Amino acid sequence: MNDADIRLVRESFTKVEPIADTAAELFYDRLFELDGDLKPLFHSDLEAQGRLLMQMLGTAVDHLTDLDTLVPIVERLGSRHRVYGVEPSHYDTVGQALLWTLEQGLGDQFTPEVATAWANAYGLLAGVMMEAAGYDDVHAGEAAVSHA
């Protein structure tokens, strides 16, 4: 990721944060629309899960310039997701749902540049998670980038 991508991700996230609960609901609705087989992976309250999702996104956005802090957090998350049954293909579906959610939340402000910046950020995070989970193919986010 370059400085311009980081700036775009941060600026756009500040516009999504005020609608975090709605964004999380949109995200999970879209995720399950894209792949209904993912729903059983979520055993907890989706509202609470949505809050955790938005908190994690906020942490990631805040630390995009501090990978020494961010990478260990994301690695732990990737390891846990493997235990929960997350498979490599799920990362692309999550990326698609995330970009779609951002597009809904940002409207006209979801420019091609913003979409690419988020796809790059997600690709970075998903790659770290997949590597930590022990998956050999860590090209997550490429499908998300192609949909940007």
Nearest to 57 by CA among 77, 43, 38: 77
CATH of the domain at 125: 1.10.490.10
With H, G, I as helix, E, B as strand and everything else as coil, classify residue 42: coil
Q: What is the pLDDT of residues 32-48, one digit of tens each?
A: 999 999 998 887 789 99
Predicted local confidence at residue 143, as pLDDT: 43
pLDDT at 134: 85
Cβ atoms of 27 and 86 within 8 Å: the answer is: no
pLDDT at residue 125, as a whole number: 94
Please compute Rg for the chain using Cα positions. Answer: 14
The confidence score (pLDDT) of residue 43 equals 76
Residues 83-92 pLDDT 10s:
788 888 899 9
Q: Which two tokens stand for residue 64?
A: 């995009």
**Which residue range(s) make up the domain with 120?**
3-146
Supply 73's token pair: 């957090």
Q: Number of C-alpha atoms within 13 angstroms, CB side, residue 5?
A: 14
How much is the pLDDT for 140? 46
User: How many folded domains does the chain comprise?
Assistant: 1
pLDDT of 137: 58
pLDDT-flagged residues of the chain (< 70):
136-148
pLDDT for 1 equals 85
* Helices within the chain (DSSP H only): 3-16, 20-34, 46-62, 67-84, 88-106, 112-132, 142-146
